[in-house]
Every structure is written in C-alpha cells, then in structure tokens.
Chains A and B, each alone.
Chain A
Amino acid sequence: MRSARRDFERLYGASPAHLLGALASFAVIAVAAMGWFVEPAISLEYILIWFGGAIVAHDVLALPLYSALDRLTALRPRRRAPAHGVAGRRAGEGEDRGERVRVPGHVYLRVPAILAGVIGLVYSPEILGKGDATYFIASGQHQHVYLGRYLALVAALFALSGLAYLRSRHTRRG
C-alpha cells in the first residue's frame, strides 16, 4: 500500500489529495465556463480576448514596461554619483558600519509613480470619460470632473515625494 502511494507520487509528482483537489477545481471551472456559453451566450472569442488578454496585458506588457521604466529612471543617478547612494553600494555594504543609507533619488519618482499608476488604472474608465454616455443616463451627471481631480492627485503625490526628497538631501547623514 505504502509503495503504491510512493509509485503514484513518483509518477504524478504530488500526493493523491493534490490530484483530487485539482480535478475538483477543474470540474467547477468547467461547469462555470459552460454557464458563459448558454443563453444569453458570450462568444468564446470574447471570453478568450478578455480572459487571456488580461494575462497578456499584465504579464507580457504591463510588468515588463513598468520594470523597464523603473530601470530607466534608476540609470541617471547611478551614472552621476556612483560613490553615493545605495544604487552604487554592494549588497549589505553600509550596514556593517552601522551607517544610515540614503534612499536613491529615483525611488522618490518610483513611489508616486506606482500610486499614480495603480489609482489611474483603477479609475481609468471615468478619468478618460469612457462611460460618460451610460453614466449620464444613469445619474444625470457627467464624468468630465474626474480627469482634473486625478491630475491634481498625481501632482500632489509627486509634490509630496519631491518634498521628501529635498528633506532627505538636506538633513545630515549620520
């Protein structure tokens, strides 16, 4: 009995419970997916576009793009001042001397950019007025106020971060 289980695990790569869990999960997924295609049916094409498209948009487009942007902003301070800041530091260095390490400049761009990006993405439909016609039918109001509010928020985020940057550069390091 024990060896039968060992054989199973060697062939399958995990316990029988893992296989049961996987099968149960896929069974529910199959039943749910069938729900998509009964009347009023959603065409397979559109589901694939939205379901697969979401994965591609994130994994293949968004993530490499924001990583590349981050790397691009990190390049400048490193070239200018290799001796200062953490970007020029080897891993672990500084800590041994009990030194406070200065946050590299591009991080003061990274943090507000992350916040502005995520918030902008979440509210992109109303910021861009993509739902304005339907929104007007529903609420009797328009979506055009949101772009201005969003831009003000982005400006505030970068301004705050800029202040934090200036403060970090004018306090004595110790």
Chain B
Amino acid sequence: MRLPGVDPDRPPPGPFRHTFWRSPLRGPWLTAVLGLGLLITIPVIAVTGFLSNDAYNPSLGGNSVGRHLGLLDFYLFRWPAHPSWLYALTQGTHVTLGLAVFPILLAKLWSVIPRLFEWPPVRSPAHALERLSLAFLVGGALFEFATGMLDIQYAYLFKFFFTNAHYYGAWVFSAAFAFHAAIKLATMRASLAARRELRPLMSDLAHTRSEGDAGAMGATAPSSDLIAPAPAAASMSRRALLGTVGAGSAFLLVQGLGDSLGGPLRKLAILGPRDRFGPGPNGFSVNRTAAAAEITAQEVGPGWRLLLRSPRRSLSLSRAQLEAMPQHTYELPIACVEGWSTTQRWTGVRVRDLAALVDVSGEALATATSLEKDGVFSAATLDPNEVSADAMLLALHVNGTPLSLDHGYPARIIGPALPGVHCTKWVGQIAFTELRSA
C-alpha cells in the first residue's frame, strides 16, 4: 500500500529519520520489559476499577449519580458484603497501583517514541488500524491517569463529571489495551527471549551497548526500528534506567499504601492526600464536613428524629429510642473511592433491625437520605445483601464515644465492603422497598 505523495525511502528530516534517535538503550528488549510490567499491572487496575463501579450498585436508586446505564453496564455478580475490608482492598489497589504504574507508562512511551514518526506513516490497512488504535491507547492511558490523580487531589480542573469521564474512558482505554496486548504479545515474548530474558539487567555501564550490537545481547537478536542505527555511547545502564523507574514506582506505591493501609505506613505517605487528622476517638479522615454539608445545630439537636418508611408503615425514632435498641459493635473501614481508608470501631443499630420495625422482613432495598442540602451523595441505596448483613449499622458511636458532628452525628450508615460515599452521614430518613416478602 502506498500513500500518494509519500516516498517510503525519503523520510522528511528530523525525527522521521532513524539516525535522529541516538539512545543506545532503546530497543525491543527494553520496550518488552516495560510492556511486561504494564501487562501485569494494567489489567489489575482495570478490573479493580470496574469492581468499584459494581460496588456502587449503580442500577439502584440514585446510585449511578446521574449516569445513564447502557450496554456496558452488565454485572457478572452481586457485590458481596463480606469480608468487610473488600472495598478497601480493591479500591486501595486500584488507586495505589494506578499511581505506581505511571513512571513505567512514561518510560514505555519514551522507549517507543520513534514509532510516532515512523516512515511511511501508513504501510497497510492493518497498520493504519493499529495506529488509530494507538491514539485511543495512549490518549486513554493518559486521560485515565490524569482524571484519576486530579480526582484524588480534589482538583476538578475539568468541566465534566469525573465519574462519567473516568468510567467510559476506562472502557475506551481497556478496549484499545486488549487489542494492543493481543497483537504485541508474541513480539514481547520474542524480544525477551532473543536477549535471554532478563540477562541485559546484568550489564553494568561498561557493558551496556545497543541492542543492535551483534553478539552483544544474544546472537539471535532480530533487528528492529526501535534500535538507533548510530547510537551514542551509553551514559547509564539499562538496570540503572529501570532502577530509576522502579524507585519512582516504589515511592508512589508507598504513598498509596500509606493512605489505604494506615498504621505506621501513613507516616511515610508524605504526599498522600490523606495523612493528617486530629486527636481523639473521632480523629480520623472525613470526606465532607458538617459545615460543608450545611448541617445546623438545630437539625441535629434534641428535636432530631429518624424517619423509617416502608410500604406498610412509617415510624419516627429519637436518638434515645435508637440507643435503647440492641447495640452491635464492629470494626469497619471507611473505604473511599479515592483509595484511602480508615478502620474504626463502630457501635449502633443493625439496619435489618430497623427494617423489622416497619414490618419489612424479606429482601429489601434501603435508601438512606442525609439531612444535607445538596450533596451528590446525599442519599444512597443499599442492596438486599447489604441491608441483611450483620455488620450493616446505623452507627451512633465510634470508638466508644458519640459520633462527632463531622462524622455524622446523630446517626450514620457504616457497613462491610461499602464504598465510603454510601456510608451516609446525618441520616434523616431510611426508606425500605421490598423486593420479595418473606
């Protein structure tokens, strides 16, 4: 296939000419090692991301926060309510690994940059499709990373709703990634095998030569357009380059782990967005202050009542009446979609006991609505296996003391494997909808 006006033997000057590229480190082996790193991590990031969407139960109530469900919203299983740390694990992994993989992504893009200028620009229809797909692959990777890291740092510089953009961006990226991995897998394996797998890592600077250097890196080394035809002398070894990339990833990994695992690691997460909180039993992260939610002292004073509703009856309970009910205590994390989590000891009334008070005993949904005026997550609908879980609480106390106002006084939802924003604070009403009566 030939493009009109394009002479395959006469590339324009500059980056379109092979001799423009001088680094002796570029070559199929380096690209394959970095590609292998991404091949292992990106599917984990993608799967945990899609699991997060699943955990939100977007088909229930207003849980999709405005997103219209379409063809891509198929769910292979119901999000479980056990173990309690499940969402903290999947989402901590998603965010932590998503950050840690960024240096590898940048190095991978650096290793293949000559391909952006390959000449002729299109060799065949297959090549044209591959290049088009690469626009979605590279654009998708950078878009997902950029929106994700802006979201966890609260910098909404974009004028679109994060959830929609990041979710559909994930599908665009995943589809392009799957195609790319499928067509490049054989190349990756051959490139690693040709240089005897990880052997090039043993070379120090003195022994670091171009992959095109005959015999230097394996006699069967195939030629590749990634190899500079006239390389400069190496100024760092391959292992030094990969070590630098690895050090960057390790630092980012520690930041993410500190924010999600907590404990002594949190002290190491000096740039993790969530490492500071006040003293005392209520001294742990919040994601919406009472002031921001415009909760007034009057609303949560002695006159506060919890309204329980079902198709059969309605009931109003004071905090004293709730405290008189059987109390249960569980260690449960607040696990935020932003990747941080914090595990505390919560005490309160089981949500299923509240359901029984309004004569609901079968499979039921529960929609908890906050007193807050206009929050995107001012209401959340819990699915039946969440409603019936032992540890699904309307909490009144945390760590042995009443909830602070910022943590949702007089009462808040907290439960196992529940995304943080579904742990509705300052609950004013819980409405039960029966799916099937017992």
A122 to B248, CA, bound (A): 11
Asked whether A134 lies within 8 Å of B233 as measured between CB atoms, the reply is no
- Rounded to whole Å, the gap between the CB of A151 and the closest CB of chain B is 11
Asked whether A134 lies within 8 Å of B156 as measured between CB atoms, the reply is yes
Contact of A61 with B by CB under 8 A: no
Most buried by B among A13, A28, A32, A43: A32
- Rounded to whole Å, the gap between the CB of A15 and the closest CB of chain B is 9
Contact of B179 with A by CB under 8 A: yes
Chain A residues closer than 8 Å to B233, beta-carbon distance: 86-91, 93
Q: Which residue of B lies closest to A91 (CB)?
A: B233
Which residues of B1-59 are within 8 A (CB) of A?
A: 1, 24
Contact of B77 with A by CB under 8 A: no
Q: Which residue of A lies closest to B232 (CB)?
A: A91
Tell me whether A138 and B102 are in contact in the complex, defined as CB-CB below 8 angstroms, given that A55-B135, A130-B157 are known contacts. Answer: no
Tell me whether A38 and B70 are in contact in the complex, defined as CB-CB below 8 angstroms, given that A25-B176, A107-B235, A130-B153 are known contacts. Answer: yes
Q: Which residue of A lies closest to B1 (CB)?
A: A13
Chain A residues closer than 8 Å to B125, beta-carbon distance: 11-13
Chain B residues closer than 8 Å to A125, beta-carbon distance: 149-150, 153-155, 157
- Rounded to whole Å, the gap between the CB of B406 and the closest CB of chain A is 7
- Rounded to whole Å, the gap between the CB of B236 and the closest CB of chain A is 5
Contact of A155 with B by CB under 8 A: no
Asked whether B158 lies within 8 Å of A51 as measured between CB atoms, the reply is no
Q: Which residue of A lies closest to B142 (CB)?
A: A54
Asked whether A36 lies within 8 Å of B165 as measured between CB atoms, the reply is yes
Contact of A92 with B by CB under 8 A: yes
Chain A residues closer than 8 Å to B99, beta-carbon distance: 122
Asked whether B236 lies within 8 Å of A91 as measured between CB atoms, the reply is no
Asked whether B271 lies within 8 Å of A149 as measured between CB atoms, the reply is yes
Of the candidate stretches B282-290, B345-353, B409-417, B430-438, the one touching chain A is B282-290
A42 to B247, CA, bound (A): 37
A74 to B234, CA, bound (A): 12
Which residues of B126-146 are within 8 A (CB) of A?
A: 126-127, 129-130, 132-133, 135-136, 138-140, 142-143, 146
Chain B residues closer than 8 Å to A50, beta-carbon distance: 143, 146-147, 158, 165
A145 to B178, CA, bound (A): 40
Most buried by A among B103, B129, B153, B158: B153
Asked whether A130 lies within 8 Å of B155 as measured between CB atoms, the reply is yes
Asked whether A137 lies within 8 Å of B172 as measured between CB atoms, the reply is no
Interface size class of B (residues with CB under 8 A): 35 or more
Asked whether B213 lies within 8 Å of A36 as measured between CB atoms, the reply is no
Asked whether A126 lies within 8 Å of B273 as measured between CB atoms, the reply is yes
Chain A residues closer than 8 Å to B263, beta-carbon distance: none
Asked whether B143 lies within 8 Å of A107 as measured between CB atoms, the reply is no
- Rounded to whole Å, the gap between the CB of B414 and the closest CB of chain A is 18
Contact of A33 with B by CB under 8 A: yes
Contact of A163 with B by CB under 8 A: no
Asked whether A55 lies within 8 Å of B66 as measured between CB atoms, the reply is no
Tell me whether A95 and B139 are in contact in the complex, defined as CB-CB below 8 angstroms, given that A38-B68, A87-B233, A139-B285 are known contacts. Answer: no
Tell me whether A35 and B167 are in contact in the complex, defined as CB-CB below 8 angstroms, given that A13-B127, A91-B234 are known contacts. Answer: yes
Asked whether A126 lies within 8 Å of B206 as measured between CB atoms, the reply is no
Asked whether A134 lies within 8 Å of B154 as measured between CB atoms, the reply is yes
Which residues of A60-117 are within 8 A (CB) of B?
A: 63, 74, 86-95, 99-101, 103-104, 106-107, 110-111, 114-115
Tell me whether A36 and B183 are in contact in the complex, defined as CB-CB below 8 angstroms, given that A119-B248, A126-B271, A153-B270 are known contacts. Answer: no
- Rounded to whole Å, the gap between the CB of B303 and the closest CB of chain A is 26
Asked whether B142 lies within 8 Å of A12 as measured between CB atoms, the reply is no
Q: Which residue of B lies closest to A105 (CB)?
A: B235
- Rounded to whole Å, the gap between the CB of B97 and the closest CB of chain A is 13
Asked whether A140 lies within 8 Å of B289 as measured between CB atoms, the reply is yes
Q: Which residue of B lies closest to A49 (CB)?
A: B158
Asked whether A40 lies within 8 Å of B142 as measured between CB atoms, the reply is no
Chain A residues closer than 8 Å to B164, beta-carbon distance: 35-36, 40, 42
Q: Digit string of A10-22 for contact with B (CB within 8 Å is 1, else 0)?
A: 0111100011011
B residues bordering A, Cβ < 8 Å? 1, 24, 66-68, 70-72, 99, 102-103, 106, 109-110, 113, 116, 123-127, 129-130, 132-133, 135-136, 138-140, 142-143, 146-147, 149-150, 153-161, 164-165, 167-169, 171-172, 174-176, 178-179, 182-183, 204-207, 209-210, 213, 216, 231-236, 240, 244, 247-248, 251-252, 270-271, 273-274, 276, 285-289, 291-292, 406
**6 A/B residue pairs, CB under 8 Å, sorted by A:** A25-B175, A25-B179, A38-B70, A42-B165, A91-B234, A153-B271
